[in-house]
């Protein structure tokens, strides 16, 4: 009884109250266990799909349409980074010449996209590590295109083929990649599948540490040998926030809405949170905060285990 009263008091004076849904009667959950109310069904979301998974306990704490296949925009870049790192043989300090094929051609919809690039120009030079940082920290499409051409591909394979093969290996059975940046709305997945991608990405120290960087300064070398510096900022607005979403990738297209996939370390609980097709940039981050807060504040029943997300290996 004291637990219920404390939760009522907490929610009554909580800024998240307007986003939490309560029922006023007893229901029966599928397992047959009766739940007494007040019992929270979770935050109200504009997001079409979402899920939260406790990484250490292996429990699904929240799920909304988590098996629905939707465009994922720049969350795609997590898979691009994985494939690049698995195949890269170059030194991080190697200077890379920018080619015409690396440039992003602006379209009539370009103003609707998240940071389209770092506006690098043909003939300029960047160090490889700065290109990698630009792809994940700023979500730069031009930098991502550079990464995708820098590895030696197996005969008859394209970079995108390796991405789709990796998705199959990770048992991301409802995922398909059409390009390396996420600009193609045919890059599609589910919240359930993206949990598997986050699990794989966060096992890679380079990806995990890169996503924790708030901003990064680096030089770009011009054709005549001069250099100037550019600063990029992380698109994750919850980095350093009390909710501690310490490693996350955002994405946006008109077709995808506002998306987010990442790892939170809130009160020493590692939570994977996925948001797909939220209505606005503000909604995306507010709903991620609400989900993280709610799932660490209330008791939950009838959990699935994390084994549901792990690929089967020999």
Contact between 236 and 251 under an 8 Å Cβ cutoff? The reply is: no
- Residue 1, SS3 per DSSP: coil
The tokens of 161 are what?
A: 């083929």
Active-site residue set: 74, 77, 139
- Residue 201, SS3 per DSSP: helix
d(CA 130, CA 64): 37
Backbone torsions φ then ψ of 18, nearest 5 degrees:
-65, -15
Element (H, E) at 22: strand 20-23
Identify the CA nearest to 97 among candidates 221, 180, 217, 230: 221
- 190-228 as b/e: b if 16+ CB within 10 A: bbbbbbbbbbbbbeeebbeebbbbeebebebbeeeeeee
Extract long-range pairs of 238-242: CB within 8 Å, 24+ residues apart. Answer: 238/264, 238/285, 238/288, 238/289, 239/212, 239/214, 240/214, 241/289
């Amino acid at each position: 009884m004291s637990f219920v009263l404390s939760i009522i008091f907490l929610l009554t004076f909580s800024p998240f109250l307007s986003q939490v849904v309560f029922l006023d009667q007893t229901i029966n959950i599928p397992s047959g266990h009766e739940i007494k109310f007040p019992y929270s069904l979770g935050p109200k979301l504009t997001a079409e799909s979402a899920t939260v998974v406790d990484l250490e306990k292996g429990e699904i704490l929240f799920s909304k349409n988590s098996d629905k296949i939707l465009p994922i925009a720049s969350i795609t870049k997590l898979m691009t980074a994985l494939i690049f790192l698995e195949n890269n043989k170059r030194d991080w300090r190697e200077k890379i010449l920018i080619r015409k094929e690396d440039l992003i051609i602006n379209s009539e919809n370009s103003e609707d996209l998240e940071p389209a690039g770092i506006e690098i120009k043909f003939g300029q030079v960047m160090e490889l590590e700065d290109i990698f940082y630009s792809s994940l920290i700023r979500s730069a499409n031009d930098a991502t295109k550079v990464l995708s051409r820098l590895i030696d591909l197996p005969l008859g394979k394209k970079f995108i083929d390796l991405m789709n093969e990796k998705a199959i290996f990770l048992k991301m059975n409802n995922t398909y990649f059409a390009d390396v940046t996420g600009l193609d709305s045919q890059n599609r997945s589910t919240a359930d599948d993206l949990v598997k991608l986050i699990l794989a990405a966060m096992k890679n120290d380079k990806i995990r540490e890169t996503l924790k960087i708030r901003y990064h300064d680096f030089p770009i070398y011009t054709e005549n040998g001069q250099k100037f510096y550019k600063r990029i900022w992380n698109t994750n607005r919850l980095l350093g926030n009390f909710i501690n979403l310490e490693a996350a990738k955002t994405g946006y297209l008109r077709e995808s809405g506002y998306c987010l996939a990442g790892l939170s370390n809130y009160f020493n609980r590692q939570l994977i949170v996925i948001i797909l097709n939220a209505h606005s940039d503000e909604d995306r981050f507010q709903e991620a905060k609400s989900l993280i807060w709610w799932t660490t504040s209330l008791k939950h029943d009838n959990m699935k285990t994390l084994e549901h997300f792990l690929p089967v290996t020999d």
